[in-house]
Amino acid sequence: MADMYGFDAFSPKQIAEKVDKIGVAKARLPLLSMVMLGILAGVFIGLGGLYYTLVKSDPSLGFATQQVVGGLVFSLGLLLVIVAGAELFTGNNLLAMAWADRKITTAELLKNWLVVCLANLVGALGVALLVFLSDHPQMNNGAIALTYAKIAAAKCEMPFWTAFFRGVLCNVLVCMAVWMALAGRSVIDKAVAIVFPISAFVAAGFEHSIANMFFIPLGMMLKMSGTVEVADSVNLWGFINNLLPVILGNLVGGSVLVGLVYHIIYLRNQN
């Protein structure tokens, strides 16, 4: 099948079969492993967010340059998840394929999503706290802290449906990055497959629920410390108000528009 595409990579149908098998393995991970790998993913995505903010805080860069270069460096997060190994809620939306194929139960699917999402939250909160305590936001004469404050405020003030549809578009690209990474046979293959979809969603300003679990709490910490002026909207309610539509949008984008679509194309007729 790979020869049909003219390069040394797994074919789309082979990827679909791999996603199916991996989905079963992920759904049946021991609870402790699932939690610890989920915490790692939250940390990894937070580190990608940190890298992005460093670029975004440089006023000498034009808008497009900030967005595109910021997106490229944010790709660090998913690279760590895929290559180093971790369980990321948004990527695990592809478990919908194994569910549609009746390889895992609805209970197993929902358990994985819930446990991994909560573990991602713990990891993202933990790295946000470490970043805050490290005084990293005070670099560049406080410009980084100000950038975190602006990012958090923009997310907390985003209308529900805007956040939802940005969440949908984000996770279409995230899950396509995961999908294409599974086509690769080397770390370089996987890196190339990941960088373009991830940098595209970041550059376009789409919403990733786990990244927001890093940005908004860090904004809240900066607000409480009085380090930088942060909008009143950056609070627990603003955090929830953002996460709810973004998580729902991520679910639709990843599980329906990628997972179930590819299930229909490549796996439905096998059953």
Q: Is the pLDDT of residue 3 over 60?
A: no
CB 14 within 8 A of CB 5: no
* CATH, domain 2-270, list 1.10.287.40, 3.40.1780.10, 3.40.47.10, 1.20.1080.10: 1.20.1080.10
More confident residue, 8 or 85: 85
Q: For 121-138, how does the pLDDT look when each residue is reduced to its tens digit (9 = 90+)? A: 999 999 999 999 999 999
Q: What is the pTM of this model?
A: 0.94
CB 217 within 8 A of CB 125: yes
pLDDT class for 1, splitting at 50, 70, 90? very low
Q: Is the pLDDT of residue 5 over 70?
A: no
SS (H, E, C) 111-156: HHHHHHHHHHHHHHHHHHHHHHHCCHHHCHHHHHHHHHHHHHHHHH
What residue segments make up the domains of the chain, in order of their start?
A: 2-270
For residue 11, the model assigns a pLDDT of 87
pLDDT class for 4, splitting at 50, 70, 90? low
Q: Which residues contact 13 (CB under 8 A, 6 or more apart)?
A: 1, 266
Tell me the C-alpha to C-alpha distance, in Å, between residue 103 and each of 94, 180, 190. 13, 22, 26
Q: Give the residue from 208, 143, 204, 198 showing the smallest Cα distance to 173.
A: 198
For residue 65, the model assigns a pLDDT of 95
Range 145-173 average pLDDT: 98
**Residue 4: exposure state from Cβ atoms within 10 A (0-12, 13-18, ≥19):** exposed
Q: Is the pLDDT of residue 156 over 60?
A: yes
Q: For 24-41, how does the pLDDT look when each residue is reduced to its tens digit (9 = 90+)? A: 999 999 999 999 999 999
Q: For 71-115, how does the pLDDT look when each residue is reduced to its tens digit (9 = 90+)? A: 999 999 999 999 999 999 999 999 999 999 999 999 999 999 999
Q: What are 138's two structure tokens?
A: 């005070």
CA dihedral sign, ordered 208, 211, 213, 215: negative
